[in-house]
Structure formats: C-alpha cells, structure tokens
C-alpha cells in the first residue's frame, strides 16, 4: 500500500475592518450657533444632527461590546484551526 499525502486546508482570515473616522460632538446651543454661522458663511459643509436617548446610547454600547466579544471568539476559533501557522495575531 502506498502512503497517502494528507493536505491541510486553512480557512482564510477575513479582511480587517476599516474603522471609519467619525466626528462626535456634544451639541450645546453655542456650538449649534457657531456651526450654523460656519455653514452660512460657507466655511463648513451642511450637517445633520443625529441624537438618541441616554438609554438607547447604553443599549448601543452594550451591543458593540457583544460584537467585540463575538469577534474575539471567532479569532480564538481561527487560531485553533490555524495553530500550525504560528500567526502573530494568535500569540
């Protein structure tokens, strides 16, 4: 009987996420007036203010923590199956 070559398959890692650059501001009446003056003068592009309640903000923060934990679990799983590659991300 001839020896059989066993080839190992490693799943590809997903592409890294590109974190967007988001400008978060706390809008006070003075800041709103200043921003409106800048838009009126043409030195700032028009903007939209999006708000949420504090309770919704806390829910959103908890959701992002769940996402972070899930990515960590996926990385642990990928490292287990790719351990023979000795990747830096797994050390």
Distance from C-alpha of 43 to C-alpha of 40, rounded to nearest angstrom: 8
Which whole number is the average pLDDT over 63-76? 92
SS3 61: helix
pTM over 0.85: no
Please provide residue 48's backbone torsions phi and psi, each rounded to the nearest 5 degrees: -125, 135
For all residues of the chain together, what is the average pLDDT? 88
Q: What is the pLDDT of residue 70?
A: 93
Q: What is the pLDDT of residue 67?
A: 92
Give the containing element (helix H, strand E) for 79: helix 54-81
Which whole number is the average pLDDT over 39-67? 90
Residue 12 has pLDDT above 80, yes or no: yes
Between the CA atoms of 78, 79, 84 and 87, what dihedral angle is there, to the nearest 10 degrees? 110
CA–CA distances in Å: residue 39 to residues 34, 35, 44: 9, 6, 5
Residue 72 has pLDDT above 80, yes or no: yes
Q: Comparing 51 with 42, which gets the higher pLDDT?
A: 42
């Amino acid at each position: 009987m001839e020896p059989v070559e066993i080839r190992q398959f490693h799943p590809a890692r997903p592409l890294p996420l590109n974190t967007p650059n988001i400008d978060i501001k706390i809008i006070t009446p003075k800041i709103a007036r200043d921003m409106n003056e800048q838009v009126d003068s043409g030195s700032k592009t028009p903007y939209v203010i999006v708000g949420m309640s504090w309770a919704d903000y806390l829910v959103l923060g908890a959701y992002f923590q769940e996402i972070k934990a899930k990515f960590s679990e996926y990385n642990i799983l990928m490292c287990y199956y790719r351990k023979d590659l000795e990747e830096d991300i797994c050390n």
